[in-house]
Amino acid sequence: MTTPSAIGTTLLSALAGVLPEHRPLHLHEPELGDLEQAALSACIDSGFVSSVGAFVDEFEACFAKYTGARHAIAIVNGTAALEVALVLAGVERSDEVIVPALSFVGTANAVIHAGATPHFVDSAEVTLGMDPAALDAYLADIAIPSAHGPVNRVTGARIAAIVPMHTYGHPVDLAPLMTVADAYGIPIVEDAAESLGSTYRGQHTGTFGRLGIFSFNGNKIVTTGGGGMIITDDADLAARARHLTTTAKVPHTWNFEHDEVAWNYRMPNINASLGCAQMQRLPDFLVRKRALADAYCAAFADAHRISFISEPEHSTSNYWLCTIRLHDATESELNEVLAAANSAGFGCRPAWRLLSSLPMYETCPRAPLPIAETLASQLINLPSSPALWSDACE
């Protein structure tokens, strides 16, 4: 093994100072225990394990209450939730949907599954999410008004939705972004998959757009094994979401009546039972993740070329994944630091490869992406499980 560079040594000693001694430490591990065992048993005993059942209703009610949304519809996963939300927001075949280039691949995949094309835009350095000012300048250049909404003058396609994503739990600067979206008459659908527990100006992420979606995959802050949620304040959209994700079945005591082509995307009761238990733990997860973030922040306060990504102004982040930035790092230096961290048992990961550079999205329309390109070669996610904090305090 080669000796780590100066910056690698700085990283390793800061991590060792914050984290418990046992290794390896993974990036993010779920916490499941007696509460989840009891909920699962109750679900099995009820006889309802599939897409109908009391836990689905309870999870949805609890989620709506927690986020402050009027309606919540439990879905099989976050990608499916985003696909449906886009269709409900009015996205149609051959439209374009504005998404951040710096995101998980599910964001762009959902756009394709909804029949549209992802159109990639740049990020802001502070929030890591969509940059409202850059988007405004870009739309001023490429969007021309038409009777059915703004059209990309280069491709001729309608721009049908904007999908901000709250990266690693840090809220996007929503106020200016909504001003831009309103000015162009483009609906916002929030990809809040990573930001359960995060608020912007005191309001929960996911409730600013016409619809918002969440994910409960195994690595997210709350997990149902696999799962997702759509939230909205619009009763008609909520009813459509329920109908379209339940094979468009018309309620009847025994008849199989379906009135349109639809999806089988509803969350099974067995997954929802886990969700009910996990929602009880969420406040405690948030406290411990914030304590871990504070400890990381202090540990990197004086580190040369390394800065910890703190929650943006006007926001409270869930600190789903704690993240540092290696200023001026090239891809090879980043890789060298990641190799040193992982071989020392610290499960650190780089940011996603920019979606615009993946083979299936290479030819999609895009804005200039200078900040996203820089961030993608300089961000490192640190071990962020809530359990790391209680362990560290022992």
Ligand X SMILES: *Cc1c(COP(=O)(O)O)cnc(C)c1O
Of the pair 4, 312, the CB lying nearest ligand X is at 312
- Asked if residues 100 and 165 have their Cβ atoms less than 8 Å apart, the reply is yes
165 binds ligand X (CB under 6 A): yes
Of the pair 217, 271, the CB lying nearest ligand X is at 217
Residues numbered 6-65 forming contacts with ligand X, rule: CB under 6 A? none
CB of 21 to ligand X, least distance (A): 30
And the tokens for 124? 């802001």
Of the pair 158, 349, the CB lying nearest ligand X is at 349
194 binds ligand X (CB under 6 A): yes
CB of 106 to ligand X, least distance (A): 3
Among 207, 217, 318, 381, binds ligand X (CB under 6 A): 217
278 binds ligand X (CB under 6 A): no
Count the neighbouring beta carbons within 10 Å of the beta carbon of residue 168.
22
168 binds ligand X (CB under 6 A): no
Among 51, 67, 107, 269, binds ligand X (CB under 6 A): 107
271 binds ligand X (CB under 6 A): no
Of the pair 84, 134, the CB lying nearest ligand X is at 84
CB of 131 to ligand X, least distance (A): 17
Among 4, 53, 78, 169, binds ligand X (CB under 6 A): 78
Any idea what the Cα angle at residue 153 is, between residues 148 and 155, rounded to 5°? Answer: 95
- Asked if residues 222 and 215 have their Cβ atoms less than 8 Å apart, the reply is no
Quickly tell me which residue has 């914050």 as its tokens.
18
Residues numbered 316-345 forming contacts with ligand X, rule: CB under 6 A? none
- Asked if residues 226 and 77 have their Cβ atoms less than 8 Å apart, the reply is yes
CB of 85 to ligand X, least distance (A): 11
Dihedral angle computed from the Cα positions of residues 69, 286, 196 and 246, in that order, rounded to the nearest 10 degrees: -80
Instruction: Write out the DSSP string of 12-60.
Output: HHHHHHHS-SSS-B-S------HHHHHHHHHHHHHT--SS-SHHHHHHH
Nearest-angstrom CA–CA distance, 15 and 324: 11
Residue 97: partners with Cβ closer than 8 Å, 6 or more residues away: 86, 91, 111, 114, 116, 117, 118, 119, 159, 160, 161, 162, 163
Stretch that binds ligand X, among 130-138, 186-194, 257-265, 386-394 (CB under 6 A): 186-194
CB of 141 to ligand X, least distance (A): 27
Stretch that binds ligand X, among 27-35, 38-46, 104-112, 303-311 (CB under 6 A): 104-112
Of the pair 193, 338, the CB lying nearest ligand X is at 193
Of the pair 15, 83, the CB lying nearest ligand X is at 83
Cis peptide before 24 (omega within 30 of 0): yes
- Please compute Rg for the chain using Cα positions: 21
And the tokens for 218? 């195994």
CB of 352 to ligand X, least distance (A): 9
Among 85, 114, 159, 193, binds ligand X (CB under 6 A): 193
Question: Site residues (CB under 6 A) for ligand X?
Answer: 77-79, 103-104, 106-107, 165, 191, 193-194, 215, 217, 228
